[in-house]
Amino acid sequence: MYPLGFLPFFLALLPDTIAVTAAVIVPILVLALWLYAVLSRSSAPADDAPVHLPGSSLSHILPFFRRRFDFINEGFQLAGQAIYQFSLLRTPVIVLSGEAARRDFFQAKDLDLNAGFKFLSGAIPMVPGVTSNLETRRIALIHKRLVASQTSERLKRLIPQILEDSRRVINTWGYSGSVDPFEQLPELIFQTTVRCLAFTELADDAAMVQRLKQLYDTLDTATTPATVLLPWLPGPSAVRRLISTKRIYDIISKTLDERVKGGIVRDDTPQMLIDAGDERLIIIGFIIGLLVAGARSTGTTASWLITFLSGHEQWREKAAEEVRRLVAEHATHLHGPSEPRDTSPEPITSQEPPLSAHRPPPLSELNTSLASIPLSAWENDTPVLDALIRETLRVAEPHVAMRQYLPPSHLDEKGTGPASLYLGGKAVPPGAFVMYPFSDVHLSSEVYSDPWRWDPGRPERNLKAPYAYVGMGAGSTTCLGKRLATLELKLITALFVLGFSEFHAVDRLGAPLAELPRPNWNDILTCKPPAGSCFVRFERTVERDA
């Protein structure tokens, strides 16, 4: 699911400008490297090597792309063991499961996430061990900027902006009707993510946001088994992918140039990078790479969170109570948002209690009262919202963690290579790829009773196992966008539970759904159920002055 591979992919591909000619030159180069990698690989199966799945033909491997969840589970059945390996063309990939392997995996050093993703998510194949230093430094800098973009000071300023963007998008849905949560929520989240990570000029331009979203969607559909298995082959989907990337690149770089040349200064995340004197490629790579990483996973989570709430009235009510309490504690004595803002805030009209349980306030009032809840309360005083997000990530995040084992000396020394890494008792040779599917723990009936059931009230006693919950990563690799993603999810959930007098799950004809759809773990990007199988019917209050 996690499209992080795009960031190293993008940085590796570009000297400074992206050229379609790369589709011709890169493939030839890569083919040579690939052949070298395949031929120079020494395969010495030892006793402690993971058992090998039979069959490495294309037909055996295609399900890895089309139905990854099934593929992985069938592998465990075929192997009859908790750890096995299969060949992706000629490259061995080790699949882990079980408590011991999980602990070892999350605690291991020298498992490289970027190299793992780059290989397994459809970027150019590399000679194992070759991740350029420059690239590593650039990724490290981008990560540093991402952390700096989520200081409390910055997040405080983003709260009213996220709320206002959400209000605007929800307004386009009308006052009652139904939405497809798997279309509309990713769209909403895309808007707020552009707001938080990219240029204000773009976020203010709804048509441009829509265009960018379409281009990113094209990147998804253009990732086919062929782009992963035969990446040197500039087939139609690889070309579509490159063209979309170039169009996204053009939009971002044009906006950057106009801002810098025009001497315009805005209060947003790219400005922070400009002011820090970052090189062009870093700024563009930051925006392009993190937009896709951030918007997709947050959008998927929002879709499922709202879908689950639409089928669980008691949790809708609990969440509403929690947010009402926060409003009561923080907003009652205020005459407007407490966050520092440029414009003088409109006072909240006090004739009517703004937040009655039965008549939801209009969104325009709600966005203002929610904006007056301080960041610290959103982050530290929302046990119900926290439980909703956590439980949603547990059942609806079809992530497979991917790494390449790259011990430092692997790069320098020839001949006397470093030792194998042991995960769950099995040897992982230097250069090997390793995968840990989150389903192993999140859908384990030993760790979670009735694991497919969405139940934010699950007792903690089920969670004694090590790394029982890894929804935002674990060990040395945790999500660097967690603060922002969590805040966005909470604000949007708050708007839903307070801003709608009702919302519930219906089928395409509007009849209440007897059962909510099940997250589709085979859909590694969005986890979506079949299109048209679930809608959310909603009703909200008409704006007073509308």
Ligand X SMILES: *[C@@H]1O[C@H](CO)[C@@H](O)[C@H](O)[C@H]1NC(C)=O
In whole angstroms, the minimum distance from the beta carbon of 284 to ligand HEM comes to: 15
Which among ligand X, ligand HEM, none contacts residue 368 (Cβ within 5 to 8 A by kind)? ligand X
In whole angstroms, the minimum distance from the beta carbon of 543 to ligand X comes to: 7
Nearer Cβ to ligand HEM (294/362): 294
Q: Which residues contact 119 (CB under 8 A, 6 or more apart)?
A: 91, 125, 126, 402, 404, 433
Does residue 373 contact residue 327 with C-beta atoms inside 8 Å?
yes
Instruction: Determine the 3-state secondary structure of 402 from DSSP.
Output: strand
Which among ligand HEM, ligand X, none contacts residue 73 (Cβ within 5 to 8 A by kind)? none
Nearer Cβ to ligand X (168/240): 168
Which among ligand X, ligand HEM, none contacts residue 160 (Cβ within 5 to 8 A by kind)? ligand X
Question: How many C-alpha atoms does 59 have within 13 Å on its Cβ side?
Answer: 0
* DSSP state letter for 80: T
Nearer Cβ to ligand X (136/364): 364
Which among ligand X, ligand HEM, none contacts residue 391 (Cβ within 5 to 8 A by kind)? none
- Tell me: is residue 527 an annotated ligand-binding position: no
Nearer Cβ to ligand X (41/156): 156
Strand-pairing partners, residue 86, are 93
Which among ligand HEM, ligand X, none contacts residue 297 (Cβ within 5 to 8 A by kind)? ligand HEM
Q: What is the C-alpha to C-alpha distance for residues 175 and 538, in angstroms, rounded to an integer? A: 8
Strand-pairing partners, residue 536, are 179, 505
Q: Which of 270, 245, 244, 272 is nearest to 257 (CA)?
A: 270
Q: What Rg, from alpha-carbon coordinates, does the chain have?
A: 24
Nearer Cβ to ligand HEM (125/186): 186
In whole angstroms, the minimum distance from the beta carbon of 194 to ligand X comes to: 17
In whole angstroms, the minimum distance from the beta carbon of 3 to ligand HEM comes to: 10
In whole angstroms, the minimum distance from the beta carbon of 358 to ligand X comes to: 22
Which among ligand X, ligand HEM, none contacts residue 298 (Cβ within 5 to 8 A by kind)? ligand HEM
Cβ-closest position to ligand X: 364
In whole angstroms, the minimum distance from the beta carbon of 461 to ligand HEM comes to: 24
Q: What is the C-alpha to C-alpha distance for residues 270 and 256, in angstroms, rounded to an integer? A: 8
In whole angstroms, the minimum distance from the beta carbon of 371 to ligand X comes to: 4
Burial of 377 (0-12, 13-18, 19+ CB in 10 A): middle
Q: What is the C-alpha to C-alpha distance for residues 244 and 25, in angstroms, rounded to an integer? A: 19
Q: What is the C-alpha to C-alpha distance for residues 295 and 215, in angstroms, rounded to an integer? A: 13
- Only one residue has tokens 């790259």, namely 406
Residues found near ligand X in the complex (CB under 6 A): 160, 163-164, 167, 337, 364, 367-368, 371
Question: How many C-alpha atoms does 93 have within 13 Å on its Cβ side?
Answer: 22
In whole angstroms, the minimum distance from the beta carbon of 408 to ligand HEM comes to: 17
Nearer Cβ to ligand X (126/371): 371
Which among ligand X, ligand HEM, none contacts residue 479 (Cβ within 5 to 8 A by kind)? ligand HEM
Q: What is the C-alpha to C-alpha distance for residues 170 and 161, in angstroms, rounded to an integer? A: 14
Structure tokens at 270: 């790219």
Does residue 366 contact residue 348 with C-beta atoms inside 8 Å?
no
Q: What is the C-alpha to C-alpha distance for residues 26 and 231, in angstroms, rounded to an integer? A: 10
Q: What is the C-alpha to C-alpha distance for residues 476 and 494, in angstroms, rounded to an integer? A: 32
Nearer Cβ to ligand HEM (129/294): 294
Helix (H) or strand (E) segment spanning residue 444:
none
Structure tokens at 533: 């199988």
Residues found near ligand HEM in the complex (CB under 6 A): 2, 4, 113, 143, 146, 197, 290, 293-294, 297-298, 301, 393, 397, 399, 401, 471-473, 477, 479-481, 484-485
Q: What is the C-alpha to C-alpha distance for residues 195 and 198, in angstroms, rounded to an integer? A: 6
Q: What are the b/e assignments for 149-186, b being 16+ CB within 10 Å?
A: bbeeebbbbbbbbbbbbbbebbeeeeeeebbbbbebbb
Give me the helices (H) in 263-312, please: 269-275, 280-310
In whole angstroms, the minimum distance from the beta carbon of 402 to ligand HEM comes to: 6
Q: Which of 399, 535, 525, 488 is nearest to 190 (CA)?
A: 488
Q: Which of 291, 301, 260, 277 is nearest to 196 (CA)?
A: 291
Q: What is the C-alpha to C-alpha distance for residues 491 and 115, in angstroms, rounded to an integer? A: 34
Nearer Cβ to ligand HEM (255/297): 297
Nearer Cβ to ligand HEM (91/297): 297
Count CB atoms within 10 A of the CB of residue 340: 8
- Only one residue has tokens 């590796």, namely 12
In whole angstroms, the minimum distance from the beta carbon of 315 to ligand HEM comes to: 18
Which among ligand HEM, ligand X, none contacts residue 4 (Cβ within 5 to 8 A by kind)? ligand HEM
In whole angstroms, the minimum distance from the beta carbon of 394 to ligand X comes to: 32
Binding site, annotated residues for heme: 479
Output the known binding site. 479
